[in-house]
Amino acid sequence: MDKVISVSFGEIALKSGNRKYFEDKLIKQMRKAIADVGYEKIYKEMGKIYIEASEDYYPQIINRLRKVFGLVYISPCIRVEQDFEEIKKASIQAILERIEDSRIKTFKVETNRADKKFSMKSPEVSKEVGAVILKNIENLTVDVHKPDVFVYVDIRQNAYIYTEKIKGYGGLPIGTNGKGLLLLSGGIDSPVAGFMMARRGVEINAVHYHSYPFTSERAEEKVKDLAGILSRYIGTIKLFSVNIIEIQKQINKNCPKDEMTILSRRFMMRIAESIAKENNYQALITGENLGQVASQTIEGLNVTNSSVELPVFRPLIGFDKVDIVDIAKDIETYETSILPYDDCCTVFLPKHPVTKPRLDNIEESEKALDVDKLIEAALDNMKTYIIQ
């Protein structure tokens, strides 16, 4: 009888053709996530992944694994041979470890027989294990509807007995769905947007725009911190930092005041697209959300889109702010996002930004600027940071 951690994955299992590819990516991400904590072995067994490690490291390992996309739940297990006497002993042991928590009064056994060669059928296993628990432990009763604790018996090459399912974020392993470039401000929304796309398997890198010396160096530090928090989920992030003050000055000088925001947004998009193409990223990602601010109307988003060819993913488009805040808190970006800082968007911010921009008007206004040259100059001064 010994202990291991088991990991279940959801959607990957459905992708039968590519299953091995997804599993291998997942194992690679898991290894990376727990490398510095320490483990002995990771192995696959009939569609689940198992980790052998010292029990002292379990809390840390589980905490790290929770941040690996593709994992649906994680369970510390007792592993025994495929032998019914052993399974019964392990089940008693597993529930004894839980009933130190005195609130536990009822239980239910759930059996999964992944190895159909095992001679007993699942309901029979559950029934007999239930009986042996009742016989050996006092003050416990069975509740098949709403038990305080489940005892899971999972019969594979070995048998695994566990009572906890710790939820992971699900999704798909990073790197199984291409690469994207996140427009990362210091706000609440864009880190969440990056998290959401990463959870769908997109490898994320980020670009940040600042208006130094109109904005402080602290603003850039804050964005590095946010990228650092995201990297706990995503792995290494390349962060491109671009100064756009000259562009903003030129817009302010040569274009209608109420178009400041939408015009700078189009520059941000174009610069992002240029970086993306250079690095073979296939999509841009923003934290935009319909109706949240003046530039985030359907018209505004359309005019923004027209400046680039790459697809622009806006995973938060239909979310309410409270829901975004909940995710930001859960993924631990919120506390950093709400720190005061100066945002480049507040430089030359118009009192009444245009809410229903028309593409022809905007393109007309841009004729007063040397768009290509301004972009080139901004890119020439770009800084790149590796965040991990």
Q: Enumerate binding residues for Mg ion (CB under 5 A).
A: 185, 187
| Residue 229 and residue 260 in contact, taking contact as beta carbons nearer than 8 Å | no
Closer residue to ligand ATP (CB): 42 or 345 = 345
Query: Rounded to the nearest whole angstrom, what is the least distance from the CB of residue 187 to ligand ATP in the complex?
Result: 2
For 235-245, b/e burial (b = at least 16 CB within 10 A) is bebbbbbbbbb
Q: Which residue is nearest to Mg ion (CB)?
A: 187
Query: Rounded to the nearest whole angstrom, what is the least distance from the CB of residue 189 to Mg ion in the complex?
Result: 7
Contacts of 161 (CB under 8 A, 6+ apart): 77, 78, 80, 87, 90, 91, 93, 94, 151, 152, 153, 154
184 contributes a contact to ligand ATP by CB under 6 A: yes
Gap between the Cα atoms of 134 and 140, Å rounded: 7
247 contributes a contact to ligand ATP by CB under 6 A: no
Give the one residue of 74, 288, 297, 378 binding ligand ATP; rule: CB under 6 A.
288
Q: Angle CA(274)–CA(278)–CA(282) in degrees, nearest 5?
A: 80
4: left (phi over 0), alpha (psi -120 to 50) or beta: beta
Site string (198-237) toward ligand ATP, x via CB under 6 A: ---------xxx----------------------------
Closer residue to ligand ATP (CB): 23 or 288 = 288
187 contributes a contact to ligand ATP by CB under 6 A: yes
Gap between the Cα atoms of 108 and 125, Å rounded: 12
| Residue 52 and residue 39 in contact, taking contact as beta carbons nearer than 8 Å | yes
305 contributes a contact to ligand ATP by CB under 6 A: no
Gap between the Cα atoms of 154 and 294, Å rounded: 54
Query: Rounded to the nearest whole angstrom, what is the least distance from the CB of residue 346 to Mg ion in the complex?
Result: 9
Closer residue to ligand ATP (CB): 94 or 268 = 268
In single-letter form, the type of residue at position 274 comes to: S
- The DSSP line for 52-85 is E--GGGHHHHHHHHTTSTTEEEEEEEEEE-S-HH
| Residue 180 and residue 284 in contact, taking contact as beta carbons nearer than 8 Å | yes
Query: Rounded to the nearest whole angstrom, what is the least distance from the CB of residue 63 to Mg ion in the complex?
Result: 30
Residue 77: CB atoms within 10 A of its CB come to 23
Q: What does 303 bind: Mg ion, ligand ATP, none (CB cut-off 5 to 8 Å by kind)? A: none
- Give me the helix-helix angle, 19-34 and 58-65, nearest 10°: 130
Rg (CA), the chain: 26
Q: Which residue is nearest to ligand ATP (CB)?
A: 187
Closer residue to Mg ion (CB): 91 or 289 = 289
Query: Rounded to the nearest whole angstrom, what is the least distance from the CB of residue 308 to ligand ATP in the complex?
Result: 13
| Residue 268 and residue 304 in contact, taking contact as beta carbons nearer than 8 Å | no
Closer residue to ligand ATP (CB): 61 or 245 = 245
Q: What does 286 bind: Mg ion, ligand ATP, none (CB cut-off 5 to 8 Å by kind)? A: ligand ATP
| Total residues belonging to the chain | 388
Element (DSSP H or E) covering residue 142: strand 141-142
Strand partners for 184: none
Gap between the Cα atoms of 257 and 269, Å rounded: 20
189 contributes a contact to ligand ATP by CB under 6 A: yes
Query: Rounded to the nearest whole angstrom, what is the least distance from the CB of residue 259 to Mg ion in the complex?
Result: 18
Q: Show the tokens assigned to 281.
A: 């990223």
Site string (258-287) toward ligand ATP, x via CB under 6 A: ----------x-----------------xx
Give the one residue of 176, 185, 248, 250 binding ligand ATP; rule: CB under 6 A.
185
Closer residue to Mg ion (CB): 51 or 354 = 354
Site string (315-354) toward ligand ATP, x via CB under 6 A: ----------------------------xxx---------
292 contributes a contact to ligand ATP by CB under 6 A: yes
Give the interface with ligand ATP as residue ranges (CB under 6 A).
Answer: 183-185, 187-190, 207-209, 268, 286-288, 292-293, 295, 343-345
